[in-house]
Amino acid sequence: GAVMCCCGPCAMYRRSCLLSLLDQYETQLFRGKPSDFGEDRHLTILMLKAGFRTEYVPGAVAATVVPDKMGPYLRQQLRWARSTFRDTMLARGLLRGLDRYLTLDVMGENLGPLLLGIAVVTALGELLFSHTVNWWTVLAIVTMTIIRSTVLSFRTRQLRFIGYSMHASIRIFLLIP
């Protein structure tokens, strides 16, 4: 009964639910300034806070435009990351009432990049100053990535989500810098 981000081109809402939240949605602010990034996540969280349910429908089919070059893809991912951090603050009160896996995933979405960034900076510092590689850090990052992908694959019963572990290399080498 709770999906944290109903993606814009794939989402459908009851008109009455949407109209009840339209003022909050249209006046979205971040740090006192109008904000228009992450509008789909923001609307989803407004729906959940209002007591409405959001559901994933595996048989739904939608078409959308996706980035086909690395530059636009990285801009999209950075925009989504900002939205995730910002809207998690909005969703704090919701987490207690959600499925434990979903709560863990939300925490991982926010803490994961922070911890990954710290690990990468620390590893680079160690490499620069002592000319050694901390293989335990590398092993921990790889293990955490594989575990998360495996749990996702298991929960969705779709083996293709194992491929999500490849995204970690994009995050480490392109998004963090």
pLDDT tens, residue by residue, 51-66:
888 888 888 888 888 8
CA-CA distance, 68 to 65, in Å (whole number)? Answer: 9
Q: Is residue 41 part of a domain?
A: no
Q: Which residue has the tokens 């603050």?
A: 89
Distance CA 136, CA 22 (A): 49
With respect to residue 86, please indicate whether it lies within any of the assigned structural domains.
no
| pLDDT for 82 | 80
Q: For residue 34, what is the enclosing H or E element?
A: strand 33-34
Rounded to the nearest integer, the mean pLDDT of the chain is 82
pLDDT reading at 97 higher than 80: no
Q: Does 49 fall in a domain?
A: no
> Which range of residues forms the domain containing residue 130?
99-176
Q: What is the pTM of this model?
A: 0.69
Contacts for 170 with CB less than 8 Å, ≥ 6 apart: 77
Q: What pLDDT, in 10s, does the model give residues 114-138?
A: 887 888 888 888 889 999 888 888 8
Instruction: Decide if 132 is inside a domain.
Output: yes
Residue 2, domain member (yes or no): no
pLDDT at 66: 87
Number of domains the chain is built from: 1
Q: Does residue 71 lie within any of the structural domains?
A: no
Residue 16 pLDDT: 93
* Residue 158 pLDDT level (bands cut at 50, 70, 90): confident
Residue 148 resides in a domain: yes
* Helix/strand/coil percentages in the chain, nearest 5: 70, 0, 30
- Residue 35 placed within a domain: no
